[in-house]
Structure formats: C-alpha cells, structure tokens
Amino acid sequence: MIRMTQVSLPVSHDREALERKIRKLLRISSEPFTYEIERRSLDARNPQEKVYRYTLDVTISNEKRILKKVHNKNIMSINKTRYHFPKSGEEPLITRPVIVGSGPAGLFCGWYLARAGYRPLILERGEQVRERRRTVERFWKEGILDSESNVQFGEGGAGTFSDGKLNTLVKDPLGRNKEVLKRFVKAGAPKEILYEQKPHLGTDVLASIVETLRKQIEAMGGSFRFGTKLTGLKLEDNTLQSLILNGEEELKAQVCVLAIGHSARDTFSMLHGCGLPMEPKSFAVGLRIEHPQKMINQALYGEAESAELGAASYKVTHQASTGRGVYSFCMCPGGYVVNASSEQGYLAVNGMSYQARDQVNANSALIVTVKPEDFPEDGPLGGVAFQRKLEKAAYEAGGGKIPVQTLKDYCKNQAGSSLGQVKPLMKGAWTLANVREILPRQIGDSIEEGIYAFDKKIPGFAREDALLSAVESRTSSPVRILRGENCESQVSGIYPCGEGAGYAGGITSADMDGMKVAEGISRRFQKCEIS
C-alpha cells in the first residue's frame, strides 16, 4: 500500500479533482487504483487560499515500480495496522463478566466481550438514553434534578450531552482508534469521522449510536440492567465474591469492570471504604466562555459564514504569570452551555453541540490544572472535595441557576446588571452573578490573563460582552483507581476502566480503554457458559 501525505487541494474541490491529483503525483495515467482517505485537515492560515490537506492510502498493482519513478518524501510504502481482538484464555469463568456503567468505556468493553462470546451483564444507575434525554430536558426546563439519571449518569455517559468530539492524543500502535471510529460508522455515524482531523458526532447523533450499540450487544448475548446502582462489594482474601446492588441485592461476580464515569462520587467513596487502592489525580477547573460564532469564523476562516466549512473551532493555550497554564477545553462551535449538575445543591456547567453546530454562539471551557496540593483535603477523595467546594459556591452564587457574568464585570470582580450584544445560549436557567468570586484567586487571575493572551490570536476574544459562566469542574476524574499491566486492580476480579478510573480523557480514549480491558479479560478467561 502506498501512503501519500500533504496532498493539497482547494476547499471547493470534488472527488474527480482528488483522483486527478493522485494520478499526477504517482505519475500514472490509466492504471486502475483504489484509495482510502486516512486523514483530512483544513489549512486556513491564508484565508484567501484555504486548502484541505490529505493523507491517502492507495492500493495499486506494480507498487514497487511506481515508487521507483516517484521521488517524493511524502509518498512511501506502508503496512497498515489492523486491529485484532485476542483469543480466549484458559482460566475458568464461572459467572458472566459484569460491567458497571454504560458510558463509552463500558459500552465498548461490553461490545467486544459480547462479540467474543462472554455474554456480559452491563449495569447502569441511570436510564436508557431516550428516557434519560426526557429527564434531562425536564431538569433544564423545570429545575427538577434526578440524582441518578442526568447529564452525568445514564446510558451513553457524560459524553452523550456534549459536542461528541472523537479526536484523541492517545498513541495507538494496535489500531484501536481506527477500530472505534469504524464501530461508530457501522452504528450510524457519518463516514467522514474516519478521516476528519477533528471528527465530531453531536449530541443528537450520539444518542442514536448509543442505542444501536446497546441493541448490538444484546443481539450478541449481552444484557443490560438500568436503574441498577453498585452500592457495595463483598470481598474475601482480597478477591471479589459478589456485588451489592441498590443497597440490598447481592450478585455473584468473578469479574467486575468499573466503568463508572468521572462523576460517580458516591461510588468512589464506597470503593475507598472497601479498601480498593486509589489515589488523588490532577484535573482542571475553570469557566465557560461564549462568543458570537460569526466572530470566531471571521477570525479563523476570514469570513463570517461558510457553507463548505461550517462553524470554526479553536484550541488555545497560555502560560500565565501565576505559573499556571490556561487552555481551552471541549470547545463547542455553534453550541450551548448546559447545566451539567448531578448532585442537589451543587452546580456544574458543560458545553454541548448538535451535529449541525448551527447555533449563534460558540462556547468553550477555559480551564486551569489543579493538583493534589491544591485540594482542601488529603487522601484519594481530596479532588472530589475541591470540586464540591467550587460547585456549591456556583450554586449559591446563582441561587441554583447558572451564574453568568460579562468579561467586563469579571475583570472588575463585580456582578453586573446587564448584558451586551452576546446573549446566553444555555440549557437550564441562568442569572447574572459574580462568577469571579467562585474561583480561587490564582485560577481566576490566570483565566483573565489567558483571555487577553488569546485575544492576540483570535481578535475579539477579549470583547467586554463575552460571557463567562461557572463552574467547569467535571473535565476529568479527580481519582485514579489503581490497576496493573493486565488492567486488574490489586483486588482480584476488579478491573478499573475508562475516564472515571483515571485512564482516559474523552469519548474515544474511553472507548479504547474499554477495548483494552476487554482484551485483558479475554486473554485470561475462557468464555462463560453459564447464563
């Protein structure tokens, strides 16, 4: 196979133009060939000459002859990595593997175990995705929070109510990343996610895909139980014996995958009480910022609207004089800020976009990394205490509504009484408040400095009527549940997995970690023959 990189064409090109470019670069005329787009990225550094840059994999006969006559460092022969799930091991498995959580990690762990014949049982404290969406919409409209089924908990996990980004920085020598994207496409995602530099699904598409994955798992012998919360473990000689569900039911289990998500604070506390080894983990906190999407488009594309390119996205970083780094996170072009709370009396925000990304505002988290030494309590749950402290302050500042502040008032550290041209685009009630006072001083100062630094890269970023809302605190898990190379905890039979366990950060990396844990279980155990 021939790999071609840095193949450039104008944004407005068609399929025929791409094929002509391939023939020109390979110096071939009539020879038949096929190709796959491995990667496509937009280069908009010159707004007047925006181009797509492709990485292509071409299959053609006489490959060696063609490469001999083409002297181009961007054209080479490759052997493409294909994903392979391992064969089953030899250790007897006397109960079905149990997966706690149906977010990305739990679903992908369950899917591959089901396909391999292990018939996993997936437990989820929240609702199926359709019922969950209705529950969440009611919360946004009426303020009625279901602490078991919300933006954080339920089928699909926290990623269901997000922009649905699928890019990851995880190194992938085994082909898991591409396998994840292929699995999404087969479940109904657009084919473009296989090669776009920044693929995304949108919350509306994600919900449908999650439902499809569940039905596929069930068709392969897996099963689900919703409204089922893990509330305890029974251990003997540091080995799992059974799970306690909903405070009363005991379920025998030899293997339990903990794919509990980054917001399962009550479960973290229970696991800590059971003696499961865990440690505090660095994460990031901050605010959401809203701008007009047309302003972002103009700054990055050189035009306010583009039917071909859609809504522009950005990624910015800055090292502040406080010594802390400030960076954008989970940027949502044409999206909403959403109330992402999961506990009564506490308030957290997140960003969400639909597939179309066609709303008038762009929003992004602006966050600062915090470390265990910043936490108000020692021990593994110190980060949880830090999150709760900020979320309680946000809840009180807004009286249960999302607290909002213009940048002008944020810099003055005062609650404003009016907005500018930028209006809040939010799911959930909001109110003007002093957002600045919610944050520790170093974090608040770092964000202010970062905003003015980002204005040099994106003109208008520091406009006085840009809107800030609080608090962005659920960026990743504040806890890491320790595991060994085989993905098993020091407690035999427990397999920490995904973002909640501290081994992923985003939808794709959580999917990949779910696959990794499924592989570890498969290498060790025989298929379970007991229902």
**CA–CA dist 469, 404 (Å, integer):** 5
At 283-298, the pLDDT tens digits run: 999 999 999 999 999 9
Quickly count: other Cβ atoms within 10 Å of residue 357's Cβ: 19
Q: What is the pLDDT of residue 531?
A: 56
| Sequence spans of domains, the chain | 2-77, 98-279+479-524, 283-472
Q: Do the bridges between strand 479-481 and strand 278-280 make them parallel or antiparallel, or are there none, so unpaired?
A: antiparallel
pLDDT category at 530 given cuts 50, 70, 90 is low
Q: Is the pLDDT of residue 416 over 90?
A: no
Q: Is the pLDDT of residue 36 over 80?
A: yes
Q: Beta partners for 279?
A: 480
Spatial CA neighbour of 425 closest among 359, 333, 471:
359
Q: What is the mean pLDDT of residues 226-251?
A: 98
At 341-399, the pLDDT tens digits run: 999 999 999 999 999 999 999 999 999 999 999 999 999 999 999 999 999 999 999 99
Mean pLDDT for the chain?
96
| Dihedral sign (CA 459, 195, 107, 498) | negative
CATH class of this structure's domain 2-77: alpha beta
Q: Burial level of 104, CB count in 10 A (0-12/13-18/19+)? A: buried
At 487-508, the pLDDT tens digits run: 999 999 999 999 999 999 999 9
Q: What is the pLDDT of residue 307?
A: 84
Q: Are 428 and 139 in contact (CB under 8 A)?
A: yes
**CA–CA dist 516, 109 (Å, integer):** 8
Give 91's DSSP letter: B
CATH class of this structure's domain 98-279+479-524: alpha beta
Q: Is the pLDDT of residue 528 over 80?
A: no
Give 438's DSSP letter: G
Torsion of CA 397, 399, 402, 404, to 10 degrees: -50
Spatial CA neighbour of 320 closest among 454, 457, 450, 411:
450
In this prediction, what percent of the chain has a pLDDT beyond 70? 99
454-468 as b/e: b if 16+ CB within 10 A:
bbeebeebbbebbbb
Q: At what angle do helices 104-115 and 176-186 cross, to 10 degrees?
A: 90
At 112-159, the pLDDT tens digits run: 999 999 999 999 999 999 999 999 999 999 999 999 999 999 999 999
**CA–CA dist 124, 513 (Å, integer):** 18
Q: Which of 69-83, 310-324, 399-413 has the lowest mean pLDDT?
A: 69-83
Give 527's DSSP letter: P
